[in-house]
Amino acid sequence: MAVTLAFDVYGTLIDTHGVIAALEKYVGDKAFAFSATWRDKQLEYSFRRGLMQNYENFAHCTRSALDYTSAFYKAELGQNDKEALLDAYKVLPAFDDVKEGLARAQDSGFRMFAFSNGSADAVELLLKNAGIRDYFVGVVSVDEMKSFKPNPAVYSHFLRRAGAVGSEAWLISSNPFDVIGAVSFGMRAAWVKRSADAVFDPWGIEPTVTVHSLLNLAEQVDRERKRI
């Protein structure tokens, strides 16, 4: 059976800080800090809704996180301003290593899926805008399960939808919580550590491999498969 790669989207393929240029118009030199808080709250709200079993989709979490961040930084954003920022979030760019990394993985014969907290429609738009949709067999969204990563049910859902088994399925993510969730469930996982300052959560659950760029992902997955 061909190895199946499940690529996280936000923060792994797509740069969530690509909204900084748009933010500078509204919050000036606070744009980077604003973007970081917005992203942190977006994830926090998804975790909380998953635990509470009070589901709203990822776009709702993103909007609520923007409202919180605007209040936190005392940014005077009107509704039209917020809508403009949310529109910018729908067309974020891919990281520089993504296209070539995906092309190398495709050449290696891997079956590749986008696997995201985002809704299928939102992810399709992001991938098409970034020019990378054609690398993927399909898009699998947690929205179909009305929960969020790292709920083990969503990783099980991915395997069912992809027609894969855990021993031949890898999650590819820059988000430690996602990597830990996948490995805990029984998948293999590659942590994409693009920044030397990134810290992996010390939970006693490690990624199968760590890569610093998607450019060497295919090589390292192949090497690990041969080692096992």
Q: What is the pTM of this model?
A: 0.96
Residue whose tokens read 């192949």 = 222
Nearest to 8 by CA among 160, 190, 146, 203: 190
DSSP 163-211: T--GGGEEEEES-HHHHHHHHHHT-EEEEE--STT-----SS---SEEE
206 vs 176, 182, 202, 203, CA distance in Å? 9, 11, 8, 8
* Domain parsing of the chain, residue ranges: 4-14+93-227, 16-89
Task: Answer yes or no: are the C-beta atoms of 122 and 90 closer than 8 Å.
Answer: yes
Q: From the CB of residue 199, how many other CB atoms can be counted at a distance below 10 Å?
A: 8
| Cis preceding linkage at 93, omega within 30 | no
Our CA angle for 17, 206, 100, nearest 5°, is: 45
Sheet (strand 209-211) strand order: 138-141, 111-116, 4-7, 169-173, 188-192, 209-211
pLDDT at 73: 97
Q: Classify strands 169-173 and 4-7 as parallel, antiparallel or unpaired.
A: parallel
The CATH architecture to which 4-14+93-227 belongs is: 3-Layer(aba) Sandwich (3.40)
d(CA 40, CA 34): 10
Going by C-beta distance under 8 Å and a sequence separation of 6 or more, which residues neighbour residue 46? 58, 61, 117, 148, 149
The CATH architecture to which 16-89 belongs is: Orthogonal Bundle (1.10)
pLDDT at 21: 94
Provide the β-strand partners of residue 114: 7, 139
The structure tokens listed for 169 are 């399925």
d(CA 191, CA 214): 10
Nearest to 192 by CA among 46, 4, 33, 8: 8
Q: Which residues are catalytic?
A: 8
pLDDT at 228: 65
Mean pLDDT split into 10-residue runs, the chain, 228 residues:
93 96 96 98 98 97 98 96 96 97 97 98 97 98 97 97 92 98 97 97 97 97 84
Task: Answer yes or no: are the C-beta atoms of 50 and 167 closer than 8 Å.
Answer: no
